[in-house]
Structure 1
Amino acid sequence: MNGKHITRLGFEKAAIGLAMTAATVREGAGVPRDDILDELRAVQGDPGAYTTGVYAALAAELRARAADRDARAGAALRPQPLPYAVWGADLIDAGATVQMDVAMRLPVSRAGALMPDAHVGYGLPIGGVLATEDAVIPYGVGVDIGCSMMLSVLPVAPDAVATADAVQLLLKHTRFGAGVGFEKRDREDHAVLHESAWDDQPLLRHLHDKAVAQVGSSGSGNHFVEFGTVTLTQPDLDLEAGDYLAVLSHSGSRGFGAQVANHFTALAQKHWPTLDPAAKKLAWLPLSGEDGQAYWQAMTLAGQYALANHDLIHARLARALGVRPLAQVSNSHNLAWRQVVDGKELIVHRKGATPARAGQLGLIPGSMADPGFVVRGRGSGAALDSASHGAGRALGRKAAASSLAKKDVQAYLARRGVTLIGGGIDEAPQAYKRIEDVLARQSDLVDMVATFMPQVVRMDTGSEDV
């Protein structure tokens, strides 16, 4: 028996030495060469049947190579993206379209849509909607898992709370910024902190204290809490037409959600080491697998935690005013949902997109000095029952900070009668698309229910405050 006999069987280079070693042992035991060659063919045909014995090392190598080939085949991108619908293409920068094209080349992708507020993000663009089969993409959900909106309509006239009083209420009852939370004596409890899921994973147990410390607070960037006026031109939300004082908030799952996102993205990338570099941030976890199930549990908990932060923000402010909300509307816009699409259950990722099933209420804000809107979904199948989650950035943060003048931003706020606490140049209204343009491009996705005009706005401090 020599190497030529082994090579003729089609063994790859790394396996030839192992095959030769096993063959030598069998020759030493007196087995004829032809019988050894038949045995080697049998190992090639079913390496899983040889976990012990003289051929075990060879079989293990063959199984590993087969798994690698399967992984490479499973991670291969389609040569062309699947078709997807786009709303407001004239408002969307080319980079966001490139990212969506890559997402639609994933082997697990089945359908998608791009909203008019779309702009470049990590992996899936902000404003991207992606349906996959048996796969969840951590960066298809986003770093701020469960990022969401909430509106409380109060039984108070819009002018009943003076601007100075609204400023003091926001300063006392809200907290903003990375790593920031209420002082221990001022923290409030919430049922989400007692969910059994916290004990199901080491990661969640580790992050529980962080969640407790930051509950009821908001992050940095575009997160905000605002007092403003809600206007209903006709009865809706179980309210009469008219103007009402309201609180609108935009917040997410804080440091807890960010660490969940980064942890599971790293796991997903290990699942697909041969994934095209263009799609690295779109690495997925099979939902039928253990890691996929763990992410789904953590994502769901982070979504609940994000809404709990809104609950506490709104409860604090309503309690301080001595009122109970007349109506509340909320929605998440950074999550994945199980959804039936064309008769099949898929996983629909909305990264910066508002759920908009027929009749479903949602919130689409503008900027710190532009109107936001309560909307009702129209249930567009082409949009996977989705709409935009806001106005969407026209300028990146660095571009806004370097190109916008503080005096121009302050003049814009003054014209709109908006008082700002915190907020940086990178969040200036001029850094965003016009919300009216964005809504005009998606009139077939949502109907307008009410308009919200901000009056007193609190945000985290930016790189340069306005």
Structure 2
Amino acid sequence: MNGKHITKLGFERKAIGLALAAATAREGAGVERGEILDELRAVQKNPAAYLAGGVYAELAAELGAQNALNDSRQGVALRPAPLPYGVWGADLIEPGARAQMDVAMRLPVTRAGALMPDAHVGYGLPIGGVLATDNAVIPYGVGVDIGCSMRLSVFPVRPDALKVEEARRLLLRHTRFGAGVAFEKREREDHAVLHEATWDSQPLLGHLRDKAAAQIGSSGSGNHFAEFGTLTLSSADLGLEAGTYLALLSHSGSRGFGAQVAGHFTGLAERLHPNLDPAAKKLAWLSLDAEEGQAYWQAMNLAGRYALANHELIHARLARALGVNVLASVHNSHNLAWKQQVGGQQLIVHRKGATPAARGQLGLIPGSMADPGFVVRGRGHADALASASHGAGRQLGRKAAANTLVKKEVTAYLKQRGVTLIGGGIDEAPQAYKRIGDVLERQNDLVDVVAQFMPRVVRMDSGSQDI
């Protein structure tokens, strides 16, 4: 008996070695080759019957795992109805987002889910969707901007000590915004994340490292921002006394690097599920038992660390420019997947536009360019998978906002609230978003408010129609 006989039976990869080892053992016991081949065919046909023990048990386990993986790659039928899931702020959520969440809850790998009050339509999983899956990761369940995150730094400066013109000058000099924006080599900053061995673990990551190095410490377009404002603590917390402080709040992600990782692995997941129901096409998953799933998991987490590094450099530059040290800081990612215990089982919890809110965990929920944001502490609500909203959430899509909002009215809104804007398109106007007070009210069982941040000088990328 040799490997050629095993291969002719159709065994693949690791199973070939296991089948050969079992066949050799059977030959040693005096069993004829023809009988051994019949036994191997029987194990192929019904691996479950041989799992209890014996010479074929290990082979049967490997075949069972391969069959499960092949089933997932070919796509299996969606559940006939969605699993039940919690919804916070149902009156604030558009039907399209509910429909997308319903499809996600029909996936065969889904085990639990929740929908936050800032939810609106996205690609695949809705923005504001939280989805727990069994040993599978969904690239579009994480999102295109992998690791998109928030950071707040509190400075030992009175809010009124930084004048508007100086704040404008600092933001213009020390922040960069826009799709494709990068630093010249002489301007680039270094960070430990750029020296991780992870970049050498996959050709894709190695190819993208130079792009990541050129863009580190910058921000993208859309709703990314950096803003000076007033942080109000009504009681001692964050290691600070109650009072008002100058603070910097930023929203940024993993730039072009993360977007290309997302595109690559989303395409791969879709190709591995050619028969997946068209309604769930953008929810194609990667098994964490497979090489593809492990590769995405590794790349996703690197993008998450890279996104946080962008914030660190932005905040460090501005703190140096102010000539001060940071008194306190808070940060969190809201486009990522985590391994998390849910109902006594380890699941993969995707938060696509949702803030981690485990009991005692600090997080940041911004409003809009002219509305307050909040530092919150999670309450660890089990039905919400220990999550909360990641912001106010859009009530108008970008095209709808650009077509319906009046520049004069938006400008008046900013002036009334004492906000100075640098850049910013009308599609990011405050009126394009839900009222942050309404969103917080719908999730007071998910988080407690620790402090309020009010924007004063805001920088964003310029939109197609500036305010």
Normalised-by-shorter TM-score class: 0.7 to 0.9
Map of 1:50-449 to 2, 5 A cutoff?
70=71, 74-449=75-450
In structure 2, give the amino acid aligned to 1:403.
T
For residues 303 and 228 of structure 2, what CA distance do their matches in structure 1 show? 26
Secondary structure of the corresponding residue to residue 382 of structure 1: helix
The Cα shift of 1:75 comes to 2.1
Q: 1:71 touches 1:274 (CA, 8 Å); kept in 2?
A: no
In structure 1, give the amino acid aligned to 2:422.
I
Q: Deviations over 1:5-55 (max 9, x none)?
A: xxxxxxxxxxxxxxxxxxxxxxxxxxxxxxxxxxx9999867789xxxxxx
In structure 2, give the amino acid aligned to 1:211.
A
In structure 2, give the amino acid aligned to 1:359.
G
RMSD: 2.1
Q: 1:393 touches 1:433 (CA, 8 Å); kept in 2?
A: yes
For residues 389 and 69 of structure 1, what CA distance do their matches in structure 2 show? 36
For residues 306 and 284 of structure 1, what CA distance do their matches in structure 2 show? 23
Structure 2 segments unaligned to the other structure (5+ residues): 1-36, 47-66
Secondary structure of the corresponding residue to residue 106 of structure 2: coil
In structure 1, what is the equivalent of residue 22 of structure 2? Answer: none
Q: 1:150 touches 1:330 (CA, 8 Å); kept in 2?
A: yes
Q: 1:365 touches 1:389 (CA, 8 Å); kept in 2?
A: yes
Secondary structure of the corresponding residue to residue 423 of structure 1: coil
The Cα shift of 1:155 comes to 0.3
Q: 1:150 touches 1:331 (CA, 8 Å); kept in 2?
A: yes
Secondary structure of the corresponding residue to residue 309 of structure 1: helix
Q: Mark the structure with the bigger radius of gyration.
A: 1
The number of residue pairs the alignment matches comes to 414
Q: 1:182 touches 1:214 (CA, 8 Å); kept in 2?
A: yes
In structure 2, what is the equivalent of residue 464 of structure 1? Answer: 465
For residues 441 and 266 of structure 2, what CA distance do their matches in structure 1 show? 35
Secondary structure of the corresponding residue to residue 160 of structure 2: coil
Distance 1:67 1:169, change over 3 A: closer
Secondary structure of the corresponding residue to residue 169 of structure 2: helix
Q: 1:362 touches 1:376 (CA, 8 Å); kept in 2?
A: yes
Distance 1:312 1:175, change over 3 A: same
For residues 213 and 69 of structure 1, what CA distance do their matches in structure 2 show? 40
Q: 2:136 touches 2:288 (CA, 8 Å); kept in 1?
A: yes
Q: Deviations over 1:172-218 (max 9, x none)?
A: 00000011022321211000000100000000000000000000000
Secondary structure of the corresponding residue to residue 112 of structure 1: strand
In structure 1, give the amino acid aligned to 2:315.
H
Secondary structure of the corresponding residue to residue 221 of structure 1: coil
- Judge which range, 256-265 or 74-83, deviates more: 74-83
For residues 69 and 164 of structure 2, what CA distance do their matches in structure 1 show? 64
Secondary structure of the corresponding residue to residue 178 of structure 2: coil
**TM-score, L = length of structure 1:** 0.86
For residues 315 and 417 of structure 1, what CA distance do their matches in structure 2 show? 26
Q: 2:74 touches 2:274 (CA, 8 Å); kept in 1?
A: no
The Cα shift of 1:372 comes to 0.1
Hey, which bits of structure 1, 4+ residues long, moved more than 6 A?
A: 40-44, 46-49, 66-69
The Cα shift of 1:397 comes to 0.1
For residues 48 and 364 of structure 1, what CA distance do their matches in structure 2 show? 54
Q: 1:227 touches 1:248 (CA, 8 Å); kept in 2?
A: yes
Structure 1 segments unaligned to the other structure (5+ residues): 1-39, 50-65
Q: 1:72 touches 1:275 (CA, 8 Å); kept in 2?
A: no
Distance 1:67 1:253, change over 3 A: closer
Q: 1:74 touches 1:107 (CA, 8 Å); kept in 2?
A: no
For residues 340 and 328 of structure 1, what CA distance do their matches in structure 2 show? 27
For residues 208 and 45 of structure 2, what CA distance do their matches in structure 1 show? 40
In structure 2, give the amino acid aligned to 1:252.
G
Secondary structure of the corresponding residue to residue 324 of structure 2: coil
Q: Deviations over 1:132-165 (max 9, x none)?
A: 0010000000000000000000000001111000
Secondary structure of the corresponding residue to residue 384 of structure 2: coil
**TM-score, L = length of structure 2:** 0.86
Q: Deviations over 1:236-264 (max 9, x none)?
A: 00100000000000000000000000100
The Cα shift of 1:76 comes to 1.1
The Cα shift of 1:72 comes to 8.1
Secondary structure of the corresponding residue to residue 212 of structure 2: helix
In structure 2, give the amino acid aligned to 1:128.
G
Secondary structure of the corresponding residue to residue 273 of structure 1: coil
Secondary structure of the corresponding residue to residue 293 of structure 2: helix
Q: 1:136 touches 1:284 (CA, 8 Å); kept in 2?
A: yes
Q: 1:136 touches 1:287 (CA, 8 Å); kept in 2?
A: yes
The Cα shift of 1:70 comes to 3.5
For residues 361 and 174 of structure 1, what CA distance do their matches in structure 2 show? 25
Q: 2:118 touches 2:393 (CA, 8 Å); kept in 1?
A: yes
In structure 2, give the amino acid aligned to 1:70.
D
In structure 1, what is the equivalent of residue 27 of structure 2? Answer: none
In structure 2, give the amino acid aligned to 1:173.
H
State the percentage of identical aligned residues.
Answer: 76
For residues 436 and 416 of structure 2, what CA distance do their matches in structure 1 show? 17
For residues 186 and 67 of structure 1, what CA distance do their matches in structure 2 show? 50
For residues 448 and 342 of structure 1, what CA distance do their matches in structure 2 show? 27
Q: 2:74 touches 2:273 (CA, 8 Å); kept in 1?
A: no
In structure 1, give the amino acid aligned to 2:381.
S
In structure 2, give the amino acid aligned to 1:223.
H
